[in-house]
Structure 1
Amino acid sequence: MFHFYCAAKVMKVCICFRLALFHFLFLTVTVLTCNGAGKDRWTKYIKKIEAAKKSYVPCKGNCTCHADVIDYDLKIWREKGKITKDDVDSALEKSVHYQIIDHKLYREEKCMFPSRCSGVEHFILNIIDELPNMEFGINVHDWPQSNRHARHLPVFSFSKVKDVHCDIMYPAWTFWQGGPAVYPLYPTGLGRWDQMREELAKKSKEFPWSLKQNTAFFRGSRTSSQRDPLVLLSRKKPELVDAQYTKNQAWKSEKDTLGAEPAEVVHLIDHCKYKYLFNFRGVAASFRLKHLFLCNSLVFHVGHEWLEFFYPALKPWVHYIPVNTDLKDVEELLEFARENDDLMKQIATRGKRFIEQRLRMEDVECYWKKLLLNYSNLLDYTVSRNMSYQEIQRKQHKSKTEL
């Protein structure tokens, strides 16, 4: 009886010991996972950042940062050897006709978007004394006009998909004026880039990284269903992301805002309150991208296809976090950002610094000058002035951002 009692007691002790050992091992694994091994989850992203930083070669300035874009866009015409009058005439069917004759700028009377034309003309007039005689077509619509898989046209457009279009990219009118109009805050457009830079710089100082809300943020209209997954994630996890649709001119019902009441438009400077800001394409490239960087927030740039002239100089994982267009990785990327705060702050700082130093008004003007000089060298005919065109004169400009 005594032996049986002892054996039972020993067995009970053994079972308790095993349970205690199992519990200890479980806790150990849990701690290791959270504090050490769990970081392996982010290794793939950390390696992407390290590799991108290692391979990144900053441009030297002096109007060289975006020169590769001009070289690429004009490569087709250099390979052809010239741009003929027939080429230009075909391009003019899809654009607004401009001529530069004896350092004066002329334009056909018709321009569907006068403020967009004015936004373009401002920069050309600033450099008109340095330009030879030439003519060209400026597309002031959102959509590019020259398909890479059809007849190539030397038409100037502000945005394109590199593999699909062969338009020649130029700095959009929005650097000076011409929209997009966003009611009620921006009825005439976002305003001059130089003045908006100052406003955003001031606001970013009010909200340094340590004071920003640890939340992703997006406000915009539903110009593309590509934005839907982020809005739906916001409804599911509002502590992670605040993304809502606003009205635009085409809004008719809640169906246009994904079954919810449209949110109020948020001023760009108030985006600076948030650590993570999302940029999506609109009809073409989105005009908001350059503004977001100046908040000194981390930019999540969705999709890489649609370009403006300065996009190629911005590098993923160096200046911003790239996000696939299907947004399948977006929740994981946001979790990665929140758990690697110092790394994210560094990327945000690099992005802000690049836009501050390499996308100034003088950089935009310099790009226009290089573009038009290189383009004019490819024209194989002497341009004759169209006497029905009126000369475009310099205008007096308001001293404050038009809102």
Structure 2
Amino acid sequence: MKTFCVHLIIIIYLLLCSKTDTSSEYESDNINHEKTKYFREENDILSTSTKWDKYIRLIENAEESHLNQTSDDNHRSIFCQQIDNDFAYWKNQSIDDIKSRLIVSETLAKTYRLTLYQVINHRLYRQTEDQLIFPARNYGIEHFLLNIIDSLPDMEFLVNTYDWPQNQLNIPILSFSKSLLSRDTDILYPAWAFWDGGPALGSVYPTGIGRWDIMRQTLNKARQNYPWSKKESRGFFRGSRTSSERDPLVLLSRNHPELLEAQYTKNQAWKSDADTLGYPPAGELKHEAFCQFKYLFNFRGVAASFRLRHLFLCGSLVLHVGSDWIEFFYERLQPWYHYIPVTTDLHDVENILLFAQNNDRLVSKIARQGRDFIWNSLTMENVEGYWKELLLEYYKLFGNDRKITMKTNFVQVERRSKP
């Protein structure tokens, strides 16, 4: 009888252990990434390990690289390396020649349809509103400029509000995005969309996605409503067909709905189902609805995608397609540590989704690392700090050693009400 009781207690203990929640919300940050450990726990078939070896090695290497990173403790922006990268080209040019060209900055602004900003006695000036290409984008930029205006010396600088960079070899121009695969010489600034100026997305965001400080809270609440253990173990993409680059993912979704849901929505150019790859357009969804899926795809748009930073805050695994177009904060995002990169031809996307489904705890940690980095580092305070460091570095290099006087047709920029 005593032996029977002991056995009964052991059986009850084992049953209780089998019900313990092992989802990522309850895991230690010090998960052992040694590959056989994962395969024993998640697959229980060691012979399958070679199928995922290349992904495991990439993740292990990314973790090792991340641990070996050194931080810049000189009170610089957390994203300061991108500032250094952007000015490296210009530091190898004739600064005197560049300064002489910038004397006619107003003419340059008209020629390339740029905004010329002037800082004079801690006041901000620019062209009149009717001369702006995208006024709302300027409003988003000016929110940050006015916040740091007391820290800025008298100076002038040219800002591009188009989606694509200018790539001028002899004129330093500030742009929100640029391509790494071409010789883009533009100097990156934080996009206007952190505060105002879009992008507008159909019926769900008719006046723009909205301020980053508000969206951070909205998406954080959605993350809490959809913790990892409650997310659907499929990939997800919802967007317009801005290019055929996205077609293979949508076709894969139609053939393998158990792997992902990827559908096209209407855009302004939509005329028939042919424009959405033969299917009726899907309904648009707010970003917080994306959070119910474990694997979220990000594609570039005309330039870099405004969506990327939002996807991370879902606490889902970000699958970032392509490595060409960047914003100022991309340099600190580490592939296979903060997200999983996918090539633009999508040739390996099915295997990557299968890998994610079969290595749940491993990819949940990548999702958490990506989310934590964006949440902790891409704050409004750090965006503002980046603007300040960027413009002070610009002044140090291109300060043209002459008194800046306001253009006769310029107006002072006043603080606007919150969008």
| Partner in structure 2 of residue 84 of structure 1 | 99
- 1:378, CA displacement in angstroms? 1.6
Counterparts of 1:58 and 1:262, CA distance in 2: 47
Specify which of 68, 71, 74 is matched with residue 81 of structure 2.
68
Letter in 2 for 1:47: R
| Partner in structure 2 of residue 159 of structure 1 | 177
Which is worse superposed, 157-166 or 307-316? 157-166
| CA 1:391–1:85: 2 relative to 1, 3 Å | farther
Counterparts of 1:179 and 1:251, CA distance in 2: 20
CA contact (8 A) 1:174 1:191 kept: yes
CA contact (8 A) 2:101 2:171 kept: no
Does 2:250 correspond to 1:225? no
| Partner in structure 2 of residue 354 of structure 1 | 373
Letter in 2 for 1:395: R
Counterparts of 1:250 and 1:112, CA distance in 2: 21
**For 1:90-146, what per-residue CA distance to the aligned partner results, in whole angstroms no more than 9, with x for missing partners?**
752321111111111001121111100100000000000000011111111111111
| Partner in structure 2 of residue 205 of structure 1 | 224
Counterparts of 1:253 and 1:179, CA distance in 2: 26
Runs of 4+ with deviation above 4 angstroms: 58-63
| Partner in structure 2 of residue 302 of structure 1 | 321
Counterparts of 1:120 and 1:275, CA distance in 2: 33
Which is worse superposed, 318-327 or 254-263? 254-263
Specify which of 387, 396, 400 is matched with residue 417 of structure 2.
396
Counterparts of 1:105 and 1:320, CA distance in 2: 39
Does 2:138 correspond to 1:101? no
Which is worse superposed, 180-189 or 58-67? 58-67
CA contact (8 A) 2:77 2:382 kept: no
Does 2:161 correspond to 1:136? no
Percent of aligned pairs sharing the same letter: 51
| Partner in structure 2 of residue 49 of structure 1 | 59
**For 1:173-213, what per-residue CA distance to the aligned partner results, in whole angstroms no more than 9, with x for missing partners?**
00001011111010110000000000000110111000000
Counterparts of 1:280 and 1:152, CA distance in 2: 31
Counterparts of 1:185 and 1:156, CA distance in 2: 30
Specify which of 393, 400, 406 is matched with residue 374 of structure 1.
393
- 1:331, CA displacement in angstroms? 0.3
What secondary structure, in the 3-state scheme, does the structure 2 residue paired with 1:242 have?
A: strand
What secondary structure, in the 3-state scheme, does the structure 2 residue paired with 1:84 have?
A: helix
CA contact (8 A) 1:85 1:381 kept: no
Specify which of 133, 144, 151 is matched with residue 123 of structure 1.
144
CA contact (8 A) 1:81 1:378 kept: no
| Partner in structure 1 of residue 200 of structure 2 | 181
CA contact (8 A) 2:77 2:385 kept: no
Runs of at least 5 residues in structure 2 that lack an aligned partner in the other structure: 1-42
Counterparts of 2:76 and 2:239, CA distance in 1: 33
- 1:65, CA displacement in angstroms? 2.0
| Partner in structure 1 of residue 343 of structure 2 | 324
- 1:81, CA displacement in angstroms? 4.7
- 1:365, CA displacement in angstroms? 0.2
CA contact (8 A) 1:107 1:392 kept: yes
Which is worse superposed, 95-104 or 84-93? 84-93
CA RMSD in angstroms comes to 1.6
Counterparts of 1:79 and 1:225, CA distance in 2: 39
Which is worse superposed, 90-99 or 191-200? 90-99
Specify which of 247, 252, 263 is matched with residue 271 of structure 2.
252
Counterparts of 2:108 and 2:185, CA distance in 1: 12
Counterparts of 2:300 and 2:159, CA distance in 1: 21
| CA 1:204–1:63: 2 relative to 1, 3 Å | farther
- 1:85, CA displacement in angstroms? 3.9
CA contact (8 A) 1:157 1:169 kept: yes
Q: Calculate the TM-score normalised by the size of structure 2.
A: 0.84
Equivalent pairs, count: 363
Counterparts of 1:168 and 1:268, CA distance in 2: 29
Counterparts of 1:297 and 1:63, CA distance in 2: 30
CA contact (8 A) 2:195 2:211 kept: yes
**For 1:237-275, what per-residue CA distance to the aligned partner results, in whole angstroms no more than 9, with x for missing partners?**
111110000111222222221111111111100111000
Which is worse superposed, 56-65 or 336-345? 56-65
- 1:86, CA displacement in angstroms? 0.9
- 1:385, CA displacement in angstroms? 1.8
Specify which of 282, 288, 291 is matched with residue 272 of structure 1.
291
Which is worse superposed, 67-76 or 279-288? 67-76
- 1:63, CA displacement in angstroms? 4.5
Counterparts of 1:341 and 1:85, CA distance in 2: 58
Counterparts of 2:136 and 2:223, CA distance in 1: 29
Choose 1 or 2 for highest CA Rg: 1
Counterparts of 1:60 and 1:108, CA distance in 2: 38
